[in-house]
């Protein structure tokens, strides 16, 4: 198996999105209930493994269904380019299932100090199994839920609610009904759906007749309004208090606005450039939200600057011009 082709199919640029929720929930739990670094590290590892499993499974499903054909607007991956065969991809998917299972089990063992005979452990184990199923059935299986317009719902649940609340529970072993915990879970979920929606708007032409995504059901213009609402409401969920607005929302709001403008000004494959901007912005916002409770303001601003500079994801926006005709 070609290592370079496999790494390309892993789509590592998507990892910040999968980490946004678990970093937010994990750091909130660490600050409120004490530190369990082994469990937190394994939460991060499990989230990354699930994201890679999702990406590999999606490529396999799209390849088998014909979505990744010549008319695809998004980037080509290894199966389309001939870098990986179907047999090799199945091996990679099965290997990642094992990695996810082992990492998730280790995470729970360290979380509960190897005490496995309790309802909490069993419940989280079942949730982990559901996460693996969701990761592999977006485009795979007899009835992939991503092909019937249910991708948005599953992304909201697993990338938002499960990601933030689940990581919090793994570390804290409790789940308080507090707005400062549930609001970012909803916010990360909405922004994660927005990432999926941009993908689906971009791929409307190649998806036609093969799967029914939200943009195909409501049309491109309505899908862009849907995108705007998702981003605005997602960011608004982080406005729980004045400190959050000043230290988290205001520093990142221009980049989310930049993304919205870019979505309205672009079509087809040109929308692909708007994805990294939204992914990195979501991660930074979620990270800063959790850190406003525990670190100095100067450190927060430094993180904002460093992450945005290192991301290299700020595309040029085609601003509207006045016609002289």
**Residue whose C-alpha is closest to residue 155's, from 301, 50, 66:** 50
Asked if 164 and 237 count as a contact pair (C-beta separation under 8 A), the reply is no
Reported confidence tier of residue 44, pLDDT bands at 50, 70, 90: very high
In a domain, 317, yes or no: no
258: in domain: yes
Average pLDDT over all residues of the chain: 84
Identify whether 77 is part of a domain: yes
Q: What residue numbers bound the domain in which 293 lies?
A: 3-311
- What is the C-alpha to C-alpha distance for residues 95 and 74, in angstroms, rounded to an integer? 26
Q: What is the pLDDT of residue 263?
A: 94
Indicate the burial class of 265 (C-beta count within 10 angstroms; 0-12, 13-18, 19 or more).
middle
Domain membership of residue 321 (yes or no) is: no
CB half-sphere exposure, 204, CA atoms < 13 A? 18
Q: How far is it, in rounded angstroms, from Cα 30 to Cα 219?
A: 43
As a whole number, mean pLDDT of residues 26-32 equals 85
Assigned token pair, 147: 């092909």
286 in a domain, yes or no?
A: yes
Number of domains the chain is built from = 1
pLDDT digits (tens, 9 = 90+) for 63-74: 887 766 555 555
* Nearest of 20, 268, 315, 8 to residue 163 by alpha carbon: 20
Sign of the four-CA dihedral 303, 198, 210, 131: positive
Which burial class, exposed, middle or buried, applies to 268 when counting CB atoms under 10 A from its CB (0-12, 13-18, 19+)? middle
User: Does residue 55 lie within any of the structural domains?
Assistant: yes
Is 267 a domain residue? yes
pTM over 0.75: yes
pLDDT at residue 308, rounded to an integer? 57
114 pLDDT more than 70: yes
Per-residue pLDDT band at 59 (split at 50, 70, 90):
confident
Per-residue pLDDT reduced to its tens digit, 189-210? 999 999 999 999 988 887 787 7
Helix, strand, coil abundance in the chain, percent, nearest 5: 75, 0, 25
Question: Tens of pLDDT along 270-322?
Answer: 888 888 889 989 998 998 898 776 655 555 555 655 555 555 555 544 444 44
Residue 46 has pLDDT above 50, yes or no: yes
The pLDDT, as a whole number, for residue 131 is 94
In a domain, 325, yes or no: no
pLDDT in the model for residue 166:
94
């Amino acid at each position: 198996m070609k290592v370079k082709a496999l790494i390309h199919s892993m789509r590592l640029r998507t990892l910040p999105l999968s980490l946004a929720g678990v970093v937010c929930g994990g750091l909130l739990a660490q600050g409120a209930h004490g530190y369990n670094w082994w469990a937190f590290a394994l939460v991060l590892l499990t989230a990354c493994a699930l994201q890679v499993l999702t990406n590999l499974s999606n490529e396999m499903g799209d390849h088998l269904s014909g979505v990744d054909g010549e008319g695809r607007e998004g980037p080509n991956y290894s199966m389309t380019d001939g870098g990986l065969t179907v047999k090799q991809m199945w091996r990679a998917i099965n290997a990642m299932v094992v990695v996810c299972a082992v990492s998730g089990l280790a995470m729970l063992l360290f979380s509960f100090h190897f005490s496995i005979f309790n309802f909490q452990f069993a419940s989280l184990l079942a949730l982990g199994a559901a996460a693996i199923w969701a990761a592999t059935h977006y485009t795979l299986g007899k009835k992939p839920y991503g092909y019937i317009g249910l991708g948005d719902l599953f992304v909201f649940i697993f990338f938002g609610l499960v990601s933030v609340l689940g990581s919090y529970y793994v570390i804290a072993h409790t789940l308080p009904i507090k707005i400062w915990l549930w609001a970012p879970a909803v916010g990360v979920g909405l922004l994660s759906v927005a990432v999926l929606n941009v993908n689906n708007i971009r791929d409307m032409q190649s998806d036609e007749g093969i799967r029914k995504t939200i943009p195909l059901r409501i049309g491109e213009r309505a899908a862009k309004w849907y995108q705007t609402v998702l981003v605005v409401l997602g960011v608004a969920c982080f406005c729980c208090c004045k400190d959050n607005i000043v230290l988290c929302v205001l520093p990142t709001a221009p980049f989310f606005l930049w993304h919205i403008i870019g979505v309205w000004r672009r079509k087809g494959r040109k929308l692909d450039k708007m994805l990294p901007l939204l992914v990195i912005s979501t991660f930074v916002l979620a990270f800063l939200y959790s850190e406003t409770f525990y670190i100095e303001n100067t450190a927060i601003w430094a993180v904002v600057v460093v992450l945005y500079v290192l991301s290299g994801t700020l595309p040029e926006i085609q601003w509207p011009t006045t016609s002289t005709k």
